[in-house]
Chains A and B, each alone.
Chain A
Amino acid sequence: MGRGRPERSGTVIRVAIAGGSGYAGGELLRLLLAHPDAEVAQVTSERFAGKFVHRTHPNLRGLTRLKYVPLGELSSCDLLFSCLPHGASARHIDLFLANAERVIDLGADFRLGDVGEYERFYGEPHPRPGLLGRFVYGIPELNRDALRSTSLVACAGCNATVSILALRPLFLEQVAKSAVIEVKVGSSEAGNRASEASHHPERSGAMRSYKPTGHRHLAEIRAVLNGRDAVQAGAAVAITAGGAAAGSEARTPAPLPHIHFSATAVEMVRGILATCHVFLREDLDEKDLWRIYRRAYADEPFVRIVKERTGIHRYPDPKLLAGSNYCDIGFERDPHARRVVVMAAIDNLMKGAAGQAVQAFNIMHGLPERRGLEFPGLHPA
């Protein structure tokens, strides 16, 4: 028993984390150790089996005496979080399902519903194609109802999460003709394994275009925003094939917008800033845009509109979101072109990974959505 254990509020949900030694695993552990309804029973790591978890996550020293166990020693639990790299969750899914009633996968294996798209973007056949379509895509703002009743969740990619949340209101309203997304990302997105590219003299101060085209997360972004059935539990993503919101006022389906995506690594450890250039089908003024975004997000606990004309914090800034589960979104209409620039920021390890997973966990168990996720970030940071 470690220090600082939270007061339990009711039935304890026993959870395990597979592949917990990475950054997403560490963040998940940090959140779950403080979660009043969760008890972390096991954390696995092959590399660090037998070691205390604070060996890899030193911020957790004194909070738990958990030690890593190998995957082969996994025992039964109520819910298993998988933070294994892509390909590994699919390979071990039978082990997970044999030990846990519910699985939340933070990796990429079960996000896409289209086998061809998976192969095209991941360069290999899907190891368990029969399971595609059984997982709910884990962005709560899209699939809250489906999350309440599912036992399988595929959390979205971090870049996909911020891009989708930034643009979805405009795509739902069918006002976007095309979109160009540029994300600036921190180094933690690349994981905790060292490489030549992450070597300090190479990485420090870098502003590196590492994926101008063909980023894997583009598959998710296109699938969701264009409403194809490629997203897991596609029916749960309430967008029809024409791109219109299901149940919304009938409009003639417009051609699917082109979506482009580039990623640049910048001098930052945590965080993503997405700058999205959206070319509009029709002219909209700023009040129209306020209405569109307010309609989409007014009741969302973790999405905030950040758009001010004065002050030094006029638009979203990932620096302010480190450790928080918020997605901040701002926009500005170009007065000289039919274009709006949408800016969105998240902490890639939180709303883009562990925070999103805990939000889904809360929804799946009928808990208040903000439970365990109240941290508002630091300022100054």
Chain B
Amino acid sequence: MHECPVCEAEVPISEDPLEGELLECEECGMELEILALDPVTLGEAPDAEEDWGE
């Protein structure tokens, strides 16, 4: 279990997490990203950005 950086709720992580993996906090609904694996670090996922077709 890891802690949501927004509301501090427990967020379950899979046994084989991937860097960049997206998760959702069940309590506050925040979309989270696994920023690092050792140790596992969660951050707020960036909003989807427009790539202007590039």
Contact = CB atoms under 8 A, between A and B. Distances in A.
A307 B28 contact: yes
Contacts of A308: 28-30
Nearest to B25: A308
A9 interface: no
B27 A305 contact: yes
A290 B8 contact: yes
A286 B6 contact: yes
Contacts of A291: 8
B33 interface: no
A231 to B, nearest CB: 31
A251 interface: no
Interface string A296-319: 000000000101111100000000
Contacts, number: 26
A45 to B, nearest CB: 45
A307 B29 CA distance: 8
B7 interface: yes
B7 A287 contact: yes
Interface residues on B, range: under 10
Contacts of B9: 290, 294
A287 B6 CA distance: 7
Nearest to B31: A310
A125 B30 CA distance: 53
A305 B9 CA distance: 12
A309 B7 contact: no
Interface in A267-296: 286-287, 290-291, 294
A287 B29 contact: no
B46 to A, nearest CB: 13
Interface string B1-42: 000001111000000000000000001111100000000000
Given A287-B7, A290-B28, A310-B30, 15 more contacts: A286-B7, A287-B6, A287-B8, A290-B7, A290-B8, A290-B9, A294-B9, A307-B7, A307-B28, A308-B28, A308-B29, A309-B6, A309-B28, A309-B29, A311-B29
